A and B are shown apart, each in its own frame.
Chain A
C-alpha cells in the first residue's frame, strides 16, 4: 500500500474500523485520511490500544493507595516498598499470537512485558506467567504447551531474569484460544523512575534497539478480532523475538538512565512506532515530527505504512535533553544497538511524518489518543446459579468408588497435578535472590531485594471454574486468593496487576461477564485495601463464536520487611500439628470435586454457584495468619484452594516429604469436609507448644481455628477416608504431566 492508495469502504473494513469510526476520522481531519493515516487511526482505535469497550468500566476500579506511586496509565504500575526502593510491575496477555505461533508468541509476550518494566527505570528481577490451555485430549493442546513453555523459557532464561512462578489450567473452553499472560516485576529507586510524557518543544526524539522490519504489522488489530478456521493464515502478523538484543537493551537503557539525559521513554509494543510516538506526545501535550528515512530498517524499500505499523521487537523511543545526545549514542553503540535521532518534539500538537522528502502523514494527536471511541456496550447480568446441596450420592463409596480412587483422580487431574515438567524449563535461580519459587509448590514466590533482608512475595491467580459459574464471585475470589497467597508468606499484600481475558464484547452476555467480574474484583480490592496499579484487557478470545471462560488473571505483590520472619509451605517437622484457620461448611458448587468426580460443571445446566468470599472474614483470617508468621508461631503454611483441605494437606506433605493424617471433620459429610472449597482458609503447621495459643487467640478474635491432624510418617490418610503411601500418592501427583507430554 502506498500513499496513493484509494481509501475504499473495503479498505476501511479491513482495518477493523466501522463506517461511523471512519466518518469520525474524516470529520476530525477535515478531509479523507491517506493510507498511512488510516493505518495509524486503525491501530490507535483498535480494542487493544484504545480499550474502547472496557475503558468506562476500568475507570471505576480502585487504583490508589498509600503505597501507590503510579497507577494505571503508564507502562507499568509503581509501588513503594520502603527505603527508597520501588517495585514496578505489570501483567500482559499475548494470547492471540501464542495460539498462532506458540514459541514466538509466548517469547515476545515475555519480552514485551519486560520492556514495559525496564522502560520505567527498573531492573527486572522476576517473571511469572499464567497459562490456560485447552482440553489435554484436544489435538493441538500438547504442541501448544510445549511451544509456549519453551518460548517463555527461551526468552526469560537468556535474558537472565528468573521465572519464579505462575499457574496453569486446562479446560476445553480454551481449545480455540489459549491464554498466555506474562508478568514482570522490576526494582528501581524511587528517585529514578522514568515516565513517558514527552515534555518540551524542540527536543530530540531518539529511536534505539533493533531495526524495524516487516514483522507483526497489524498485530494489535489481530488481537482485536475473533479467530475463525483460517486463523493460521495470520502467522505473519506474529512478531519474532530476540532475547539477546533485549538483554543488551536492558543494560544499555539502565546505563543511560543512570545519567540525566532522558526526558521521556516508551517501549514500542503493540502498534510499534505509532503508539509509542503518539502516547509520548499526547501525555506531554506536544507534537512530534519524525523523518522516517532515519528509522533503522531491516529491509529495503519499507513504506511509511509498514514502518509505522510494524511490531518488530526490542525497540524503544525516547526524548532526550538537548545537548545530551552524545551520551546516548555512546552507550548504545557500546552495546552494539541501533541508535538514531528520528525527529523532534514540536508545538503543533500534530504527528507529522516525512518520507523521502514528502509529507506522508499530518494528523492532530489529541483525537488519536483521547477521542478514541469510548463505547457503552450493552450487557446482561450473568445467570444466577443454584447452591449445590450435599447429597449422600456424592460420597465415593456410594458411587461404587472409594476415597483412595477419588484422591488419585484428583491428584492426577490436569489442574492439580505437578507442573514440574513446565517449571523445570525455567531458570528460577539466576540473580541469586530467589528465596522460594514454583519448586516448593507453595503459594507465592519470594524474591529478595538484592543486598537487603527484605523481599517481595509474588503470585498470580484466577479460578476460571468459579468465574464461569459466576463472574462476580469469581472476580472477587481471584483477587482474594492472591491476597491469601501473599499472606501465606507473611507478606503484607500491597497491590495487584490484572490481565482481563474475555470473549467478544459485542455480545451482551460476554460484556456482562466483564462488567460483573470487575465489580467483584473491585469489591475485594476495596475491602482488602489492595489497589490495581496496572494491567491489560484482552477481548475477542473467541473462535467460531465459542468464547473462553471469563478469566480475570490477577498478579499480586506483597512486601516481606524482614526475611527472618516469613513462612513457606516447607519447614514442617515430623509430629507437628495441623490447624485449619477459617470456617468449613463443605461448599461443593463449582468445586474441583464437582467437576472431576461428580461430572458437574461440564455444561451450563450442571453449573452451580461457586464458593462465596466473605471479605470481612477473609481479612481477619489473613491478618491473623500474618501476625502468627511475624510472631514465629508457624512452621509451615498453605492456603486451601482447588480440592480443599485434602489437597492442601497432601501438597504440604509432598513438599515436606512427610506423611499426613487428617482427623474427622465436624458435623458434615466426609467428602464435603475433605474436598469442599470454602474460601478464606489456611492450613497451618505448628509445634506442640503453639497449638493452644494459636487456637485460643483465634477464638478471642472470632476466627475459626481447628486442629485437623498431624504431619509425619510415610502415609497420607484421612480418618474413615483415604489411606495411601506418601510415595505412591506423590508419584500419582508427579506423573500426569510428563506422561501426557511424552504420549
Chain B
C-alpha cells in the first residue's frame, strides 16, 4: 500500500502518522507539502493533527482551502481512502468532505488523556480488522473536538453507518458522543482521537494499529 501524509505549516503529528503508516505497510511514506497542487499516486492519504496555519480563523479552515486539499477533495469523491485525525478531521469537515463541524470543547479547556472509544461500525474499511472488538483506548489531545451536526444529519448518518466511533464518557460535549465519522461512501474517515499515537506498547498502547491494518486489508 502506498501512502501519503500531508504537511501544512504547523502540522505537528505528521511524523507520528508517517511512523504509524510505515510500521503497518513496511514502506516509506510520501510527505506532501501543502502548496503541491496534485497528490502523488497513492492508495491512502492521512491528513495529520496539528495546528495547520496556526488554526487562525477556525481550526482547519485555512488548510481546507489549500491547493493540496482541493486535489484531495476531487480524488476522495472518486473513492480514494482518506483519513483525518484531530486537526485532519477539522480540515475534512471544513472542506465539506465530512458533515458537521467541530467546536470548542464544552469545558473550554484543552484535554489530553487516554480515551475509551466504542466501535459503532465495525464493518467500515477503517475498522474491519477489529473484528468483534467493541472497545479501544486511544489518546485524545484537542481544544476543538466538540462535534456538532443537526438532528437530521445525525439520524441520516446513523442510518447509513457513518458513525464509526463514539466516546465512552464524553470528554468534549460532542453530539451523540461522536468521536469519529465517515462520509456516506465510507472512504473518508475523520476522528478526533489519535490512532497514530497508539501503535506501541511503550506509548499509548497498540489499539490504533488495527485501524491502519483495516485500510491495508481493504485495499488489497
Whether the pair A248, B9 counts as a contact (CB closer than 8 A) is yes
Q: Is B168 an interface residue (CB 8 A)?
A: no
Q: Which residue of A lies closest to B139 (CB)?
A: A429
Q: Give residues 399-423 of A contacting B (CB, 8 Å).
A: 423
Counting contact residues on chain B (CB < 8 A from A), the size range is 20 to 34
Q: Is the CB of A158 within 8 A of B194?
A: no
**Taking CB as reference atom, which chain B residue is nearest A566?**
B202
CB contacts (< 8 Å) of B200 on chain A: these are: 432
Is the pair A335, B112 in contact by a Cβ cutoff of 8 Å? no
Q: Are B112 and A158 in contact (CB under 8 A)?
A: no
Of A239-247, A536-544, A729-737, which stretch is located at the interface? A239-247
* CB pair B112 A426 closer than 8 Å: yes
Residue in B16, B54, B114 whose beta carbon sits within 8 Å of that of A158 in the complex? B54
Q: Contact mask B199-216 → A, CB, 8 Å, 1/0?
A: 110111000000000000
- Distance of A248 Cα from B10 Cα, bound (Å): 7
Question: In the complex, A176→B172 CA distance in Å?
Answer: 35
- Please, which residues of chain B bring their CB within 8 A of the CB of A153? 110
The answer, yes or no, to whether A336 is at the interface (CB within 8 Å) is yes
Which of B49, B199, B203 is the one whose CB lies under 8 Å from A434?
A: B203
Question: Would B203 and A427 count as touching, CB distance under 8 A?
Answer: no
Does B12 touch A at the CB level, under 8 Å?
yes
Q: Which chain A residue shows the least CB distance to B11?
A: A160
Given A244-B56, A432-B15, A432-B203, are A425 and B50 also a contact pair (CB < 8 Å)? Answer: no
User: Which residue of the partner chain, among A158, A243, A428, A431, contacts B15 with CB atoms under 8 Å?
Assistant: A431
Which B residues lie within 8 Å of A245 (CB)? 54
Q: How far is the CA of A28 from the CA of B135 in the complex (A)?
A: 73
Contacts of A423 in B (CB 8 A): 112
Say yes or no: is B148 at the interface (Cβ < 8 Å to chain A). Answer: no
A158 to B11, CA, bound (A): 9
Assess whether B203 is in contact with A429, with CB atoms less than 8 Å apart.
Answer: yes
Interface flags, B52-83, vs A, CB<8A=1, else 0:
01111000000000000000000000000000
Scan B131-148; emit 1 where CB is below 8 A from any A CB, else 0: 000000001010100000
B109/A425 in contact, CB under 8 A = yes
B113, A244: Cβ atoms closer than 8 Å: no
Given contacts A160-B50, A432-B203, contact A424 B111 (CB under 8 A): yes
Are B203 and A244 closer than 8 Å at their CB atoms?
no
A429 touching B51, Cβ below 8 Å: no
Contact A243 B111 (CB under 8 A): no
User: Is A159 located at the chain interface by the 8 A CB criterion?
Assistant: yes
B33 (CB) vs chain A CBs: closest residue: A334
A615 within 8 A of B: no
A335: B residues at CB distance < 8 A: 9
- Give the distance to chain B from A249, nearest Cβ to Cβ, in Å: 11
Q: Across the interface, do B196 and A244 meet the contact criterion of CB distance under 8 Å?
A: no
How many angstroms from the CA of A468 to the CA of B96 in the assembled complex?
Answer: 59
- Return the contact of A435 from the options B19, B197, B203 (Cβ within 8 A): B203
In the complex, B101 has a CB within 8 A of chain A = no
Chain B contacts of A424 at CB under 8 A? Answer: 109-113
A247 touches B9 (CB 8 A): yes
A546 interfacial contact with B, CB 8 Å: no
Closest-CB distance, A252 to chain B (whole angstroms): 10
In the complex the two chains form, is A160's CB within 8 Å of B203's CB?
no
Q: How far is the CB of B72 from chain A (nearest CB, A)?
A: 21
B9 touches A432 (CB 8 A): no
Check A430 for interface membership: any CB of B closer than 8 A: yes
Q: B53 to A244, Cβ gap below 8 A?
A: yes
**Which residues does chain B contribute within 8 Å of A429, judged by CB atoms?**
112, 139, 141, 194, 197, 203-204
Q: How far is B139's CA from A433's CA once the two chains are assembled, in angstroms?
A: 13
Residues of B within 8 A of A448 (CB): 202-203
Q: Is A716 interfacial (CB-CB < 8 Å)?
A: no
* Interface size, A (range): 20 to 34
State whether A427 touches B54 (Cβ < 8 A).
no
- Residue A563 interfacial (CB < 8 Å): yes
Within 8 A of A (CB), among B31-55: 49-51, 53-55
CA distance in complex: A218, B157 (Å): 57
Q: A429-B194, A432-B197 are in contact. Are A158 and B10 (CB under 8 A)?
A: yes
Provided the pairs A157-B141, A247-B10, A427-B141 are in contact, do residues A432 and B196 lie with their beta carbons within 8 angstroms? yes
Interface centre among B10, B109, B139 (most CB of A within 10 A): B10
Q: B12 contacts which chain A residues (CB < 8 A)?
A: 158-160, 247, 430
- CB closest residue in chain A, given B196: A432
Contact of A432 among B10, B16, B111, B114 (CB under 8 A): B16
Q: Which of chain B's residues have a CB closer than 8 A to the CB of A434?
A: 203-204
Complex partner residue of A244 from B16, B54, B111, B139, CB under 8 angstroms: B54
How many angstroms from the CA of A426 to the CA of B202 in the assembled complex? Answer: 19
Alpha-carbon distance between A160 and B51 when the two chains are bound, in angstroms: 9
- Find out whether the CB atom of A435 lies under 8 angstroms from the CB atom of B10: no
Q: Nearest A residue to B200 by beta-carbon distance? A: A432
A160 near B13: Cβ-Cβ < 8 Å: yes
CB-contact partner of B9 in A150, A336, A425, A428, under 8 A = A336
- Shortest beta-carbon distance, A116 to chain B, in Å? 20
| Complex Cα spacing A431 to B203, Å | 10
Distance (whole angstroms) from the CB of B101 to the closest CB of chain A = 20
Q: How far, in Å, is B41 (CB) from chain A's closest CB?
A: 25
| Inter-chain contact A430/B16, CB cutoff 8 Å | yes
State A433–B109 Cα separation when bound (angstroms).
Answer: 24
User: Which B residues lie within 8 Å of A430 (CB)?
Assistant: 12-13, 16, 49, 141, 197
What 0/1 pattern do residues 443 to 456 of A give for CB contact below 8 A with B? 00000100000000
B35 → chain A, closest Cβ, in Å? 9
Which A residues are CB-close (under 8 A) to B112?
157, 423-429
Distance in angstroms from A304 CB to nearest chain B CB is 31
For residue A173, give the distance in angstroms from its CB to the closest CB of chain B.
28
A-B contact pairs, 17 of them (CB 8 A): A153-B110, A157-B112, A158-B10, A158-B54, A160-B13, A160-B50, A244-B51, A244-B54, A247-B12, A423-B112, A427-B141, A429-B197, A430-B12, A432-B196, A432-B203, A432-B204, A439-B114
Give residues in B with beta carbon < 8 Å to A.
Answer: 9-10, 12-13, 15-16, 19, 49-51, 53-56, 109-114, 139, 141, 143, 194, 196-197, 199-200, 202-204
**Interface contacts beyond A157-B143, A563-B202: sample of 16 additional A-B pairs, CB < 8 Å, sorted by A:** A157-B141, A158-B10, A158-B51, A159-B12, A247-B10, A248-B10, A336-B9, A424-B109, A425-B110, A425-B112, A427-B110, A429-B194, A429-B204, A430-B141, A439-B113, A439-B114
Q: Which 4 A-B pairs have CB atoms at the shortest separation, nearest pair first? A: A160-B12, A244-B54, A427-B141, A158-B51
